Amino acid sequence: MSDKVFNGSAKAYAVSKGIGQAGRGRPSREQLDCIAAARAEGWTFTAESGKTVSVGTDEKPAIKIITGKDLRQGAARTSPEGSVWIGDLDGKPVKVSGKAVCSPCGVSLTYHTCNAPRAVVGSGVIVPLSIRE
């Protein structure tokens, strides 16, 4: 593995070089050119490698960051397939995707582990959820 490792995505690397904007969406042509040049120089990006990387400085000890494919290895589904999550927003039922993040445990609703699931709905309101099978 190369000793030139950028702790993040290829697009974030290009943004760190002052090319393009961060955020969602496809990289611009300039960002793609920058990424291609970086790869030609031997750079790798942890968000694409699926490897565990230790990050630390002289002042702070290293911590392990798990990225890519290793993030959910062996995770067990906690809600039945086809389940529908329902939240209550201002007295109206709101359907919530199983891909939404459970606020207390920080995992998708499909794999969450807490007893009181809540998620962000509407314009940033966190509401308790119930499940319909």
For the cut 90, the answer to whether the pLDDT of residue 33 exceeds it is: yes
Q: Is the same domain home to 16 and 60?
A: yes
In a domain, 31, yes or no: yes
3-state helix, strand, coil in the chain (%, to 5): 20, 30, 50
In a domain, 21, yes or no: yes
Q: Is the same domain home to 58 and 97?
A: no
In a domain, 74, yes or no: no
Q: Give the whole-angstrom CA distance, residue 65 versus residue 53.
A: 6
In a domain, 34, yes or no: yes
Q: Is the same domain home to 62 and 16?
A: yes
Q: Is the same domain home to 13 and 39?
A: yes
In a domain, 75, yes or no: no
In a domain, 121, yes or no: yes
Q: Give the whole-angstrom CA distance, residue 22 versus residue 55.
A: 22
Structural domain tally of the chain?
2
In a domain, 109, yes or no: yes
Single out the residue in 68, 93, 108 at which a domain terminates. Answer: 68
Q: Containing domain of residue 100, as a range?
A: 84-132
Single out the residue in 68, 97, 118 at which a domain terminates. Answer: 68
- Sign for the pseudo-dihedral over CA of 33, 37, 38, 44: positive
Arithmetic mean of pLDDT, 11-34? 89
| Strands in the chain per DSSP E | 5-6, 44-45, 52-55, 63-66, 84-89, 92-96, 118-121, 125-132
Q: Is the same domain home to 63 and 93?
A: no
Q: Classify residue 117 by its DSSP letter.
A: -
In a domain, 45, yes or no: yes
Least confident stretch, 29-43, 55-69, 93-107: 55-69
Q: Does pTM surpass 0.75?
A: no
Q: Is the same domain home to 60 and 12?
A: yes
- By three-state DSSP, how is residue 14 classified? helix
Arithmetic mean of pLDDT, 12-21? 90
The string of pLDDT tens digits covering residues 57-95 is 566 555 544 444 434 555 677 777 777 888 888 888 888
